[in-house]
């Protein structure tokens, strides 16, 4: 019988550090000369290329070009479309998605990291020898998301047979903190033989449209794309109308067409097309490209209403990206504009002002935004406006009015039939902060619990850390040192178990570092140093003896989902439970403070769990976005799920055979997961909607039967009997648990 989740083979993580990118450089002379320098038989078979010599005009440009050559899918859009009314999406729904993405963390880092692991696996499988990047020419940009990917690639390729290189040319732009080493001296750069202007690798679908203009010396790649030689690129772009018209005929080339539309931009141009493309670039993570397009439109726009629409789109993107200084400096809107435009523009300017500590300046703009925004037409947007208005009142010292705004939001939410989980979360968090500020700690705790309950079974890495951080700080204020210590320890365990700590949500990073909120998060080293200081101080208040660390073999921490084999043992005490293996694991990050925190956290755990001494890898189970196991039942349930047969909890020791683990599973209870917001019933299917983060799930067959009938049965055994004793039911239950549709517990 299948009774536990199979441990899947996961892609290895990439050990990162803050060291500069080290990369090989090659001065382009000719393809034959490059082939000799690289020592390969054929460039098209042994190398991958990406060309940003004409700049990047799509989000994650390099990632898309590499994935195309490897024959693997690139990521889908991760941000909502901002500023496109014809999408029919109420702006409050856009805000909800932005809130989720912000809470998940740095989307561009996460996309680059997960994609990089897949790229590395394909590179090794296909025995690729080189990944070569043609850098931007002077006047063009790398874009941050491309630099992130190459930093990850440079670190991920360590120890492999593949190398990363730059194919440089006269005027090429290289990031200032990169260390580029040229094994071959500069030969004779070929003089520019033309100025072919279409950016990037030329897709096969474009060849018939541009065949008369394509340089004959272009390199054909294995996937059918053409790489234009750097010597065929020039500073001057010629005949933009020809290229704009040619690219208009190719549906997938709209991002390339933008380049030429911007060159011949006038107030009579197709502004809606360019705004649409800017919105798409934002949704792809190409934030700089989106703003560049919109600022170009703005410079040529004369129509006041269209200009207001463009500026509103710019401002909304700035707020989404926490570019508060730029938002604050935007001019106030013209009073002749329609009220909806004025409400949006006044709000975004006021938002920028309050977030740059200019609350007194912001207040009149917030007042105007509230007066112009119709609460009847845009009730959810109005609640978000009240929320940020409350923050401004807090900063101006009007605490009573700040409470009044938040209480108005709370009262409005209580009257609604359908719960708006995003606004409820933010409203509860803000009330908790207000009560904490006034010293009403019990009420603060109540509202924190209400907020974090919204995310039960849905917590992402930033949520897990932030919830523990909030309670640790609250308990410290009340001098509940024992409880605060457990929260600090769990905060550190979540941080060290996070596979992508660089992507921690900026709000959470800045809460750890006690900084003013901005688009800057915090370095892994800075956060590690701060958490180490907090944990050490808490442990000292508890008079916990910390043994000195000896040796260079630091312990590793990671989530149990990334374990390549079941851990040896599970250990716990009241408030904390972990798993461990004697095999050494791979750390995700190398840094002085990060390593120091690993050592401290391990020594603190060993002081609480003496049987942990000698184990080298620590695994944590968030129990599907809830929290680490806090009692023996939860830890044993984790062990059954992850095939761990040995448990030490406090003074008690347990050992379970597979048959005993099966008996535990059979007696386990099953309930509908609290992550579910609603269910839409159809004839043969049901669609499940979640409170936050997750996209709807469409269920049919046995999955649908389980979800509809789980409440009828006391435990897994009864459910199994009712399901005609099918063994596949066990794997279905585990799959539904992973999907956050049911909860299985002892």
The pLDDT-based confidence of 75 (bands split at 50, 70, 90) is confident
Per-residue confidence (pLDDT) for residue 281, from 0 to 100: 96
pLDDT higher than threshold 50 for residue 6: no
Cα–Cα nearest to 470, from 454, 484, 453, 455: 484
Q: List phi, psi (to 5°) of 544.
A: -85, 130
Helix axes 524-541, 592-608, angle to 10 degrees: 30
In whole angstroms, give the CA distance from residue 151 to residue 109. 11
In whole angstroms, give the CA distance from residue 591 to residue 155. 14
Q: List phi, psi (to 5°) of 646.
A: -130, 130
In the predicted model, what is the mean pLDDT of residues 547-569? Answer: 89
Per-residue confidence (pLDDT) for residue 515, from 0 to 100: 85
Q: In what order do the strands lie in the sheet containing 697-699?
A: 676-681, 686-690, 697-699
| Range scoring the smallest mean pLDDT among 233-247, 287-301, 338-352, 574-588 | 233-247
In the predicted model, what is the mean pLDDT of residues 656-667? Answer: 92
Query: Could you report the per-residue pLDDT of 43-58, keeping only the tens digit for each?
Result: 999 999 999 999 999 9
In the predicted model, what is the mean pLDDT of residues 597-610? Answer: 96
Query: Could you report the per-residue pLDDT of 205-260, keeping only the tens digit for each?
Result: 899 999 888 999 999 998 889 999 998 887 555 788 999 999 998 888 999 999 99
**In this predicted model, which residue has the larger pLDDT, 605 or 90?**
605
Q: How far apart are the first and last CA of the chain?
A: 19
Cα–Cα nearest to 3, from 562, 618, 656, 652: 656
pLDDT higher than threshold 50 for residue 1: no
Query: Could you report the per-residue pLDDT of 421-446, keeping only the tens digit for each?
Result: 999 999 999 999 999 999 999 999 99
pLDDT higher than threshold 90 for residue 5: no
The pLDDT-based confidence of 86 (bands split at 50, 70, 90) is very low
In whole angstroms, give the CA distance from residue 474 to residue 477. 5
pLDDT higher than threshold 70 for residue 314: yes
Per-residue confidence (pLDDT) for residue 59, from 0 to 100: 96
Query: Could you report the per-residue pLDDT of 541-554, keeping only the tens digit for each?
Result: 999 988 888 777 88
The pLDDT-based confidence of 320 (bands split at 50, 70, 90) is very high
What are the helix (H) ranges across 238-358? 240-248, 254-263, 271-284, 287-300, 304-320, 324-329, 339-355
Report percent pLDDT > 90 for the chain.
Answer: 82
pLDDT higher than threshold 60 for residue 88: no
Per-residue confidence (pLDDT) for residue 406, from 0 to 100: 98
The pLDDT-based confidence of 8 (bands split at 50, 70, 90) is very low
In whole angstroms, give the CA distance from residue 403 to residue 237. 58
| Range scoring the smallest mean pLDDT among 334-343, 546-555, 576-585 | 546-555
DSSP, res 180 = E
Whether residue 179 contacts residue 187, with contact meaning beta carbons closer than 8 Å, is answered with: no
* 3-state secondary structure (DSSP) of residue 164: strand
The pLDDT-based confidence of 267 (bands split at 50, 70, 90) is confident
The pLDDT-based confidence of 10 (bands split at 50, 70, 90) is low
Cα–Cα nearest to 166, from 15, 36, 52: 52
Q: What's the mean per-residue pLDDT of the chain?
A: 92
In whole angstroms, give the CA distance from residue 723 to residue 712. 12
Whether residue 555 contacts residue 618, with contact meaning beta carbons closer than 8 Å, is answered with: yes
Per-residue confidence (pLDDT) for residue 190, from 0 to 100: 58
Per-residue confidence (pLDDT) for residue 237, from 0 to 100: 58
How far is C-alpha 64 from the chain's CA centre?
Answer: 18
Helix axes 506-513, 524-541, angle to 10 degrees: 50
Query: Could you report the per-residue pLDDT of 465-503, keeping only the tens digit for each?
Result: 999 999 999 999 999 999 999 999 999 999 999 999 999
Query: Could you report the per-residue pLDDT of 389-419, keeping only the tens digit for each?
Result: 999 999 999 999 999 999 999 999 999 988 9
pLDDT higher than threshold 70 for residue 9: no
Per-residue confidence (pLDDT) for residue 159, from 0 to 100: 87
| DSSP structure string for 685-729 | -EEEEESSSSPPEEE-HHHHHHHHHGGG-SSHHHHHHHTTT-THH
pLDDT higher than threshold 80 for residue 158: yes
Per-residue confidence (pLDDT) for residue 191, from 0 to 100: 59
Residue showing tokens 């990632």: 63
In the predicted model, what is the mean pLDDT of residues 362-366? Answer: 98
Report percent pLDDT > 70 for the chain.
Answer: 96
Q: Whole-prediction pTM value? A: 0.94
In the predicted model, what is the mean pLDDT of residues 27-31? Answer: 92
| DSSP structure string for 50-119 | EE-TT---STTHHHHHHHHHHT-PPPPP-S---S-GGG---HHHHHHHHHHHHHH--HHHHHHHHHHHHH
Query: Could you report the per-residue pLDDT of 621-646, keeping only the tens digit for each?
Result: 999 999 999 999 999 999 999 999 99
In the predicted model, what is the mean pLDDT of residues 96-115? Answer: 95
Per-residue confidence (pLDDT) for residue 192, from 0 to 100: 59
The answer for residues whose C-beta is within 8 angstroms of residue 329's C-beta and 6 or more apart is: 352
Per-residue confidence (pLDDT) for residue 3, from 0 to 100: 39
In whole angstroms, give the CA distance from residue 723 to residue 349. 59
Query: Could you report the per-residue pLDDT of 500-522, keeping only the tens digit for each?
Result: 999 999 999 999 999 887 777 78
In the predicted model, what is the mean pLDDT of residues 364-368? Answer: 98
Whether residue 148 contacts residue 46, with contact meaning beta carbons closer than 8 Å, is answered with: no
């Amino acid at each position: 019988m299948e009774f536990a989740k199979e441990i899947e083979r996961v892609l290895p993580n990439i050990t990162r550090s803050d060291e500069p990118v080290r990369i090989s450089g090659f001065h382009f002379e000719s393809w034959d000369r490059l082939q000799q320098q690289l020592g390969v038989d054929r460039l098209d078979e042994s190398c991958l290329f990406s060309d940003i010599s004409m700049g990047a005009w799509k989000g994650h440009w390099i990632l898309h070009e590499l994935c195309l050559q490897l024959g693997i899918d690139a990521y889908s859009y991760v941000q909502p479309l901002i500023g496109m009314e014809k999408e029919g999406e109420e702006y409050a729904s856009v805000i909800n998605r932005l809130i989720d993405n912000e809470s998940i963390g740095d989307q561009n880092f996460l996309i680059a990291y997960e994609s990089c692991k897949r790229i590395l696996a394909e590179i090794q499988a296909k025995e690729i020898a080189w990944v070569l990047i043609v850098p931007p020419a002077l006047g063009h940009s790398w874009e941050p998301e491309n630099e992130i990917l190459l930093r990850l690639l440079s670190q991920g390729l360590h120890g492999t047979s593949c190398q990363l290189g730059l194919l440089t040319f006269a005027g090429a732009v290289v990031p200032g903190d990169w260390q580029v080493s040229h094994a071959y001296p500069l030969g004779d750069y070929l003089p520019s033989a033309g100025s072919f202007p279409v950016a990037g690798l030329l897709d096969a679908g474009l060849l018939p449209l541009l065949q008369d203009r394509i340089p004959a010396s272009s390199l054909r790649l294995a996937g059918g794309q053409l790489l234009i030689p750097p010597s065929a690129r020039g500073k001057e772009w010629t005949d933009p109308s020809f290229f704009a018209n040619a690219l208009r005929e190719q549906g997938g080339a709209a991002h390339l067409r933008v380049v030429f539309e911007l060159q011949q931009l006038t107030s009579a141009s197709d502004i809606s097309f360019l705004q649409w493309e800017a919105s798409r670039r934002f949704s792809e993570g190409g934030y700089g490209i989106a703003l560049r397009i919109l600022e170009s439109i703005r410079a040529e726009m004369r129509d006041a209403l269209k200009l207001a629409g463009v500026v509103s789109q710019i401002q909304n993107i700035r707020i989404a990206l926490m570019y508060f200084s730029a938002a604050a400096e935007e001019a106030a809107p013209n009073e002749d504009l329609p009220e909806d435009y004025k409400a949006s523009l006044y709000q975004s300017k006021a938002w920028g002002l309050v977030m740059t500590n200019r609350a007194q300046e912001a207040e009149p703009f917030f007042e105007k935004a509230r007066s112009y925004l119709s609460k009847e037409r845009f009730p959810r947007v109005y609640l978000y406006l009240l929320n940020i208005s409350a923050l401004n009142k807090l900063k101006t010292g009007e605490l009573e009015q700040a409470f009044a705004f938040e209480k108005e939001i709370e009262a409005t939410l209580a009257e609604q039939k359908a719960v708006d989980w995003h606004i409820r979360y933010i409203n509860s968090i803000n009330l908790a902060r207000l009560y904490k500020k006034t010293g009403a700690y019990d009420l603060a705790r109540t509202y924190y619990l209400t907020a974090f309950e919204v995310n039960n079974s849905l917590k992402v890495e930033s949520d897990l850390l932030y919830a523990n951080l909030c309670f640790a700080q609250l308990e410290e204020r009340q001098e509940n040192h024992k409880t605060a210590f457990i929260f600090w320890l769990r905060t550190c365990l979540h941080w060290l178990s996070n596979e992508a700590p660089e992507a921690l949500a900026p709000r959470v990073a800045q809460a750890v570092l006690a900084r003013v909120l901005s688009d800057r998060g915090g370095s892994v080293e800075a956060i590690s140093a701060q958490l180490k200081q907090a944990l050490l101080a808490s442990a000292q208040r508890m008079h916990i003896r910390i043994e000195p660390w000896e040796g260079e073999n630091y312990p590793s921490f990671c989530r149990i989902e990334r374990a390549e084999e079941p851990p040896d043992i599970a250990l716990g005490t009241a408030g904390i439970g972990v798993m461990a293996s004697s095999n050494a694991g791979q750390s995700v990050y190398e840094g002085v403070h990060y390593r120091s925190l690993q050592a401290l956290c391990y020594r603190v755990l060993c002081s609480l769990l003496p049987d942990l001494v000698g184990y080298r890898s620590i695994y944590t189970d968030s129990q599907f976005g809830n929290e680490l196991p806090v009692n023996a039942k939860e830890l044993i349930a984790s062990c059954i799920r992850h095939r761990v047969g040995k448990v030490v909890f406090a003074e008690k020791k347990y050992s379970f055979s597979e048959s005993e683990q099966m008996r535990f599973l059979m007696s386990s209870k099953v309930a509908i997961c609290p992550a579910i917001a609603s269910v839409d019933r159809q004839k043969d299917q049901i669609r499940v909607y979640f409170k936050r983060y997750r996209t709807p799930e469409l269920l049919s067959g046995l999955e649908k039967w389980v979800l509809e009938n789980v409440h009828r049965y006391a435990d897994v055994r009864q459910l199994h009997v009712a399901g005609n004793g099918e063994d596949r039911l066990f794997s279905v239950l585990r799959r539904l648990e992973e999907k956050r549709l049911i909860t299985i517990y002892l």
